[in-house]
Amino acid sequence: MRVRLVQMRVVAPLLLALTVLLGVWGTPAASAAGSYPVTYRFADGIAANAQDPGGSPPGANNWSCKPSSAHPRPVVLVHGLLATAQDNWYTMAPLLANHGYCVFAITYGTNSGQPYNGGMLDMETSALQMKAFVQHVLQATGARKVDLVGHSEGTVMPRYWMEFLGGARYVAHYVMLTPIWHGTEFYGAATLSQLAYEYVPGYGPQSESFWDSRCGSCPEFLTGSPFMQQLNSRGFALPGVQYTDVMTRYDETVMPYTSGYVAAPNVTNFVLQDQCPLDLTDHATVAYDAVAAQDMLNALDPMHAKPVPCVAVVPGYGTPVPPPGQ
């Protein structure tokens, strides 16, 4: 009887600790203040957008938010092709809000017949929407500059706004998830397109007419496209802006993934698998990646940077067991 009592005194606390840990790891994480739950599952963002099409992700677009002295710049989140503010930023928006940032997320570039698929218009048109949105953010918050976090098309279109529409002076930091600095080959489509431009009479106008009514941005991503040539004609990283590139070797959209790499004094480049071999994230789920999330937080607040966790990230799923306390 005495032995059993001793065993219970030892085992019970261990079982309690295990239960707490499983409860923390098996459910969406929350901030220390408990403001917003944070889920790292890609499907959760898709489901939320299906229930509330065109809505905002948790923690974003609170137009009464005023930046603090600790985080004086609002963060503007810019989604990728076919995405919206909600399904692209269902992890990062509440995570940033829980860390004390004013967070704003734009849905841009929607076609009239596809109101819930963003990024579909040509990027020159979307850049005008970006310009208006950032001005609204600055006016609402009283800030002079913003920090940008972009994913996929969100690493390309804002560059046009910065380079050609005067936006660079309003940006301090730009965190790029799966960046597309040099365009994408996309399974040989870029090479075929270049050959068609060169050898097929009238291909350029016909191609533009075809894509404009469907996905004006789609051909612009391709390596060597007229848009990419114009975008990079003045160089890459703009002075006065700090860039952070976060790439994945398993990117099935940005080809090669090293299209996201730029060597410049004001650019920091990360490959997620160099930081954590367990991270198998693909192009879409990088926005639900706990490793990428810490890279983002460190880039926006380098004075309080924390070690990047190494946790498993599953392509098409996200982060099954996110690090406690992120």
Assess if residue 17 is contained within a domain. no
pLDDT of residue 164: 98
- Does residue 18 fall inside a structural domain? no
Residue 89 lies in a domain: yes
Tally of CB atoms within 10 A around 142: 10
Q: Which of 87-96, 215-224, 241-250 has the lowest mean pLDDT?
A: 215-224
> Quick check: is 121 in a domain?
yes
Residue 35 within a domain: no
Residue 210: what pLDDT? 61
pLDDT at 145: 99
Q: CA angle, 140 as apex, 135 and 141 as ends, to 5°?
A: 100
Give the whole-angstrom CA distance, residue 313 versus residue 286.
Answer: 9
- The pLDDT tens digits for 16-44 are 333 333 333 333 433 323 499 999 999 99
In a domain, 193, yes or no: yes
- pLDDT value of residue 203: 61
3-state secondary structure the chain: CHHHHHHHHHHHHHHHHHHHHHHHHHCCEECCCCCCEECCEHHHHHHHHHHCCCCCCCCECCCCCCCCCCCCCCEEEECCCCCCHHHHCCCHHHHHHHCCCCEEEECCCCECCECCCCCCCCHHHHHHHHHHHHHHHHHHHCCCCEEEEEEHHHHCHHHHHHHHCCHHHHEEEEEEECCCCCCECCCCHHHHHHHHHHHCCCHHHHHHHHHHCCCCCHHHHECCCHHHHHHCCCCCCCCCCEEEEEECCCCCCCCCHHHHCCCCCCEEEEEHHHHCCCECCCCHHHHHCHHHHHHHHHHHCHHHCCCCCCCCEECCCECCCCCCCC
User: In this structure, is residue 84 part of a structural domain?
Assistant: yes
**Stretch 93-101: mean pLDDT:** 98
pLDDT at residue 246 greater than cutoff 90: yes
* CA–CA distance, 11 with 5 (Å, rounded to integer): 10
Residue found by looking up tokens 């953010």 in the block: 137
Q: What is the pLDDT of residues 299-315, one digit of tens each?
A: 999 999 999 999 999 99
How confident is the model over 137-165, as a mean pLDDT? 99
Q: How confident is the model at residue 65 (pLDDT cuts 50, 70, 90)?
A: very high
pLDDT of residue 8: 32
> 242-247 and 267-271 as β-strands: parallel, antiparallel, unpaired?
parallel
**How many domains does the chain contain in total?**
1
Q: How confident is the model at residue 193 (pLDDT cuts 50, 70, 90)?
A: low
Whether residue 224 lies inside any domain: the answer is yes
**CATH code at position 108:** 3.40.50.1820
> Residue 12: what pLDDT?
36
The whole-model pTM stands at 0.86
114 — pLDDT class (breaks 50, 70, 90): confident
Question: Structural domain of residue 290, as residue ranges?
Answer: 42-304
Q: Which residues of 51-66 are buried (b: 16+ CB within 10 A; e: fewer)?
A: eeeebbbbbbbeeebe
